[in-house]
Amino acid sequence: MHARAFRRLEAKTQVFTRRYSDHFRNRLTHTIEVTQISRTIAAQLGLNDDLAEALALVHDIGHPPFGHAGEKALDAAMRLHGFSFDHNLHALRIVEDFEVQYAAFRGLNLTFEVREGIIKHSHDYKPEDRPELAEYLLNQRPPLEAQLIDLTDEIGYNTGDLDDGYEARLLTVEQIASSVAVFDRCYRDVKALYPTAAEKLLFNEALKRVFDILVGDLISNTRLRLEQSGARSLDEIRRQPERLAAFSPSIEEERRQLKNFLYENLYFSPALAGEKEDAERIIGELFAHWMEEPDDLPRSYRDKSAKEPLPRIICDYIAGMTDPFIYQQYEKYCSD
């Protein structure tokens, strides 16, 4: 929490940039919400809630500016030069190298389990594809604390983005209820309980119930799967053929329905298309500029060019930027 990269999340996009409104979630507030969810679930399952909290706090630290549109644009720019960008792997670079706070060593001196969870919480990398990550036991499942994070992340952004989309007037109650079964059930229940309440309050009550259904199901189904597996130790959890943390089949289907609804009606909304186009243009043009004019990079990044390829150095620089700072850099180097 005292790392510079963590503080920068406050000025990085979740869904809505500040040019749209400053009332909505950013990467930092989203991270705080995911951390609360993760600690609650870990405690209910008797897990190490401190480890779950650490993994939740760090899970988005590798994201570039402009949200997922920025990550897509940065990866596309890197692939033009034979490289790629993965925010989980970039997060590992941040905590192991970029953060310099100690005289004795680089990085944050995090435990193995935290560093393992950074790269494995949401993706199973194949050992043959990532030999440089061999120390992180890629042929084994991560601990349950790490397995939870991708799912608590989804609970956080599925409910949070639905809330922000409604507040932004890009989504209506009728639209959501007609496409998302779990919300429709909850909204009908609260409308029967509070027939005279304002729509906004009914929406809030319904969304809290959706949240509770997702959290409650993740706790109960993960506990059930753990019992059915017979695993009684971390080594046994690591040797399981699949991850044990999961929603039940019926709730998993409703989670997918909610996620698909958000993609179709919010993330790719015409109202947000301009923001995505800006992100792709700004990152693409800045990347190309520094490839042609590397002397315009800060000295600390130019000095790294003797040890690492220029595209990777430029990628590191852009990925660490906040939304306001990358706008400033674009105005300085790419604006007519």
Average pLDDT value for residue range 215-220: 98
**The two structure tokens encoding residue 328:** 């400033």
pLDDT score at 275? 82
pLDDT score at 269? 87
Is the pLDDT confidence value at 22 over 80? no
CA distance 25 to 33: 10
pLDDT score at 64? 94
Is the pLDDT confidence value at 20 over 70? no
CA distance 207 to 213: 10
Band (18; pLDDT cuts 50, 70, 90): low
CB of 114 closer than 8 Å to CB of 219: no
Q: What percent of the chain has pLDDT over 90?
A: 84
pLDDT score at 336? 67
Is the pLDDT confidence value at 19 over 80? no
Q: Which residue has the higher pLDDT, 98 or 212?
A: 212
Identify any residues that bridge with 100 across adjacent strands, giving them in sequence order: 107
- Cβ atoms within 10 Å, residue 194: 12
pLDDT tens-digit profile of 113-172? Answer: 999 999 999 889 999 999 999 999 999 999 999 999 999 999 999 999 999 999 999 999
pLDDT tens-digit profile of 269-313? Answer: 888 888 889 989 999 999 999 999 999 999 989 998 888 999 999
pLDDT tens-digit profile of 101-123? Answer: 899 998 999 999 999 999 999 88
Helix (H/G/I), strand (E/B), else coil: 199: helix
Domains of the chain: 4-273 (1.10.3210.10)
CA angle 270, 275, 280 (to 5 degrees): 115
pLDDT score at 283? 95
Average pLDDT value for residue range 325-329: 95
pLDDT score at 274? 85
Is the pLDDT confidence value at 224 over 70? yes
pLDDT score at 305? 83
CB of 180 closer than 8 Å to CB of 258: yes
pLDDT tens-digit profile of 229-275? Answer: 999 999 999 999 999 999 999 999 999 999 999 999 999 888 888 88
Residues 178-181: contacts with CB under 8 Å, at least 24 apart: 179/257, 179/261, 179/265, 180/254, 180/257, 180/258, 180/261, 181/254, 181/257
pLDDT score at 306? 83
pLDDT score at 47? 97
| Average pLDDT of the chain, as a whole number | 93
CB of 319 closer than 8 Å to CB of 85: yes
